[in-house]
Amino acid sequence: MTRIALIAHDDEKPEMIDLAQSYEATLSEFDLVGTGTTSKRIMAETDLTVERKESGPMGGDTQIGAEVAEGRMDGIVFLRDPLTAQPHEPDISALLRICDVHDVPLATTRASAEYILEGLAQDRADD
Ligand SMILES: O=C(CO)COP(=O)(O)O
């Protein structure tokens, strides 16, 4: 099953919720995983089930990066806050890097996320 990760920094969580609500039917066909607070918010505000990892600053990005390294992840939506420094910046950089290494689709904006979700849904329909 197509497995994707949903991650959003605090300022981007409203955008992530809006994306999850807009694409709820599509996302419901996927196996979803996310960082702690992002997952909790999505589950509170949609009917989606998201496997909860640790919160980002506590290692959630690293856990998701490990799944990328293991070849378990088909795509990542990571809505980053480009204007606020994060204490776990090394973890964030590592996640972006490991997606590059394994050529896993990674969206860091709403517009690119929509392309990835639609592309993965199309791949699924073609299977
Ligand atoms: O910090 C994050 C990603 O780097 C997101 O973590 P939360 O979803 O727990 O807020």
DSSP state of 20: H
Residue 14: the pLDDT is 98
Query: Taking the model in full, what pTM does it have?
Result: 0.97
Query: What is the pLDDT at residue 66?
Result: 98
Q: Does the pLDDT at position 108 exceed 90?
A: yes
* pLDDT for the residue 124: 79
- Position 125 scores a pLDDT of 82
Q: What is the mean pLDDT of residues 66-95?
A: 96
Ligand 1 closest atom vs CA 35 = 8
User: Read out DSSP for 11-63?
Assistant: GGHHHHHHHHHHTHHHHTTSEEEE-HHHHHHHHHHSS---EE---GGGTHHHH
Q: How far is the CA of 127 from the centre of ligand 1 (A)?
A: 32
Q: Encode pLDDT of 28-77 as tens digits.
A: 999 999 999 999 999 999 999 999 999 999 999 999 999 999 999 999 99
H or E stretch at 10: none
Average pLDDT, the chain: 96
CA distance 7 to 9: 7
The C-alpha atoms of residue 89 and residue 102 are separated, in whole angstroms, by 20
Dihedrals phi, psi of 105, to nearest 5 degrees: -55, 130
Closest ligand 1 atom to Cα of 8: 5
**Cβ–ligand 1 contact at 62 (below 6 Å):** no
For ligand 1, pick from 52, 61, 98 the residue to mutate: most ligand atoms within 8 Å of CB.
61
Q: Output the pLDDT for position 59.
A: 98
Residue 10 a catalytic site member: no
Share of the chain above pLDDT 90, in %: 93
Are residues 75 and 4 in contact, defined by beta-carbon separation less than 8 angstroms? yes
- What ipTM goes with this model? 0.98
CATH H-level, domain 3-126: superfamily: Methylglyoxal synthase-like domain (3.40.50.1380)
pLDDT score recorded for residue 23: 97
Query: Is 36 a known ligand-binding residue?
Result: yes
3-state DSSP assignment of residue 102: helix
